[in-house]
Amino acid sequence: MISPEIIEEIKYRCDITDVISTYVPLKRAGSNYNGHCPFHSERTPSFTVFPATRSFYCFGCGAGGDVVTFIMKRENLDYRSALEMLAKRAGIELPREERREDTGAIKRERILSMNRDAARFFHACLYDPNLGANGLRYLTERGLSGATIKHFGLGFAPDSFGNVTDHLTKLGYTAEEMSVGFLCGISKKSGRPYDYFRNRVIFPIIDVTGNVVAFGGRVMDDSVPKYLNTSDTPAFKKSRNLFALNYAKSKCADRLILCEGYMDVIALHAHGFENAVATLGTAITPEQARIMAKYTKQVIISYDSDEAGQRAANKAMKLLSEVGLDVRVLRVTGAKDPDEFLRKNGTAAHEKFKLLLDNSRAQFEFKLDGVLSRHDISIIDERIKAAAELCRIISEVYSEAERDVYIGVVSDKLEIPRDSLKNDVKRAMREREKSQKKEEIQAVINKTAGYGDRVNPDMVKNTGAVNAEENILGILLLYPENLAAVKKGKIELSSTDFFSEFNRKVFEEALARCDDTGKFDFSLLNEVFDVDSMGRITSMVIKRRRLKENGTELLCDMISRLREETRHRKNEGDDMAQIADILASQRNKLKKT
């Protein structure tokens, strides 16, 4: 356990506004600061930093907490790692006795150490003639030099069930650690570990701080899957990482090239395009879009030209546009992907690919070409369908000036009057706004009723009780002297009064961390609650802070209301039990007769 005094000093030196402003452009709004949320896509800023309480909260997605929570969520770190990162920023050396490991969980640092050793082993295997000949042959045939192979730390997983696990076991890693780190599976028959990566070229995935966080493996035969990627671990979240960003981050201020696969990225880097990255075996995620927005102004999408690639490109364009990036699409001519194009063009590859980049299409041009390729506009019905599809696409454009330009382009292409198209675009916008409003209303209804609440699933069972609990906790955490009063028995409230398991735990943990004088550090809750839970807890405090009345009398009224709600639900349950007994008794009588 890191002492509360050290945590307080770390938070004092790491001012929350200063820390968050390195990730999010903030603007002063009275005594607070506003900005676009780094955790979800939005056009209107709903993310607020409260310097007075050293906290943040997003009124759009519900993310919230203190500076420690922010670093945990933004950097994908556990509690201790986030504190260590902030301590380093503050110039604080954590005492050696403060670094005791939690034996109840496999720590991120242990996984990172194991991944580093595994990467070294894979790389050594690649150059072992008895183990990695097939892998080295594959890479050299793909045109990769020894320097490029070394630069990316490429390796090979031998075609064996135990090479990696045996090696890591000798280094002191346990089967449980290898399993959690997605380097081995555990046989159901024998209980022994076996290698996940077998007969595969290995691509280490390195984060922006230089840690090997995961691996991708390309198989050498017809086995499936063709590419095997590390699943989420304590050190890795697939949705929040990009392959080769550790190299591209310092080369992509103006533009970044987004590819589908490892080999495209490696080939581009080898030919001088060091601003290329790739998603990790999945379609682009909102988190990855926000990461790219942190490093660049423009993204050029270089996906395959097949139907699946086009669908993926459309999704990428939407997500990247939502975070304010200029998005363009690359058309690779005479090859199926950048890797093949570069190999085909030999010494002229660099200049020819640069020309492709410079001539990349804006996203509307890309979508326009796609619609026109699907419809023969010389046929009236097909022209009408194309017009409807393009009007729907234009209606999704935020800028009115852009919409006008695109309407003019479509008018010329389809030979349809501008005014007619403009009216159809407005109609499509109204329909979409109506649909969005309906979805928002339904979402509010569901949220109020507790449906889909992953943080507190008990909400749907008794909304009245859970609302009372949240009001109680909001007042207790806003004014911790009330927690002290509960500990001393001056305010009658116990964990047994709580209906929901989540709120009961919040109460118990807060009470345990509050001393008799009412001193309480909100940050200590980060140790036991995940970032989503911390967002919910923060929302309880924010809601109460925005209200004028938060006194002891109201707190006691809320406690009484909670007890009444739980008593009412208990009586309902008793009544239902009695009815069930009566029905069972009647059924038994009927059977006897």
Convert the pLDDT of each residue in 466-505 to its tens digit: 999 999 999 999 999 999 999 999 999 999 999 999 999 9
Q: Percentage of the chain with pLDDT > 70?
A: 92
Domain check: are 214 and 161 in the same one?
yes
pLDDT at 99: 43
pLDDT of residue 535: 95
Degrees (nearest 5) of the Cα angle 150, 152, 156? 75
pLDDT digits (tens, 9 = 90+) for 330-358: 988 888 899 999 999 999 999 999 999 99
Examine residue 570 and state whether it is found in any structural domain, yes or no.
no
Q: Which of 236, 257, 279 is the last residue of a domain?
A: 236
User: What does each C-alpha distance from 166 to 172, 175, 182 come to in angstroms?
Assistant: 10, 10, 15
pLDDT at 571 over 60: no
The answer to whether residues 402 and 427 belong to one domain is yes
**By residue range, what is the domain housing residue 432?**
375-445
Question: What's the whole-number average pLDDT of the chain?
Answer: 89
Q: Report the distance separating Cα 283 and Cα 278, nearest Å.
A: 10
pLDDT in tens, 188-243: 888 899 999 999 999 999 998 899 999 999 999 888 899 999 999 988 988 889 99
Q: What is the pLDDT of residue 240?
A: 85
Residue 575 lies in a domain: no
- Quote the CA–CA distance of 331 and 303 in Å, as a whole number: 9
8-state DSSP, 243: B
**CATH number of domain containing 13:** 3.90.580.10
Structure tokens of 347?
Answer: 């010494």
User: pLDDT tens digits, residue range 73-125?
Assistant: 988 788 888 898 899 999 998 766 444 444 445 778 899 999 999 999 999 99
The answer to whether 153 and 206 have CB atoms below 8 angstroms apart is yes
In this predicted model, which residue has the larger pLDDT, 575 or 336?
336
Tokens coding 176:
């449980």
More confident call, 307 vs 23: 23
28 DSSP β-pair partners: 33
Q: Is 588 inside a domain boundary? A: no
- Which pLDDT score, from 0 to 100, does residue 101 have? 46
Domain end position, chosen among 415, 445, 475: 445
Tens of pLDDT, residue by residue over 408-462, are 999 999 999 999 999 999 999 999 888 878 876 776 666 665 566 889 999 888 9
- The pLDDT tens digits of the residues spanning 261-295 come to 999 999 999 999 999 999 987 789 988 998 898 89
* Domains of the chain: total: 5
Contact criterion met (CB below 8 Å) for 114 and 169: no
Helices 67-75/531-545 angle, 10° precision: 140
* 112 shares a domain with 205: yes
Q: Helices (DSSP H) in 51-162: which residue ranges?
A: 67-75, 79-90, 108-126, 133-141, 146-152
pLDDT greater than 60 at residue 325:
yes
Per-residue pLDDT, 143: 93
- Separation of alpha carbons 189 and 161, rounded Å: 15
Tokens 């345990």 appear where?
512
pLDDT at 558: 94
Q: How far apart, in whole angstroms, are the C-alpha atoms of residue 20 and residue 37?
A: 11
Tell me, what's the pLDDT at 294? 83
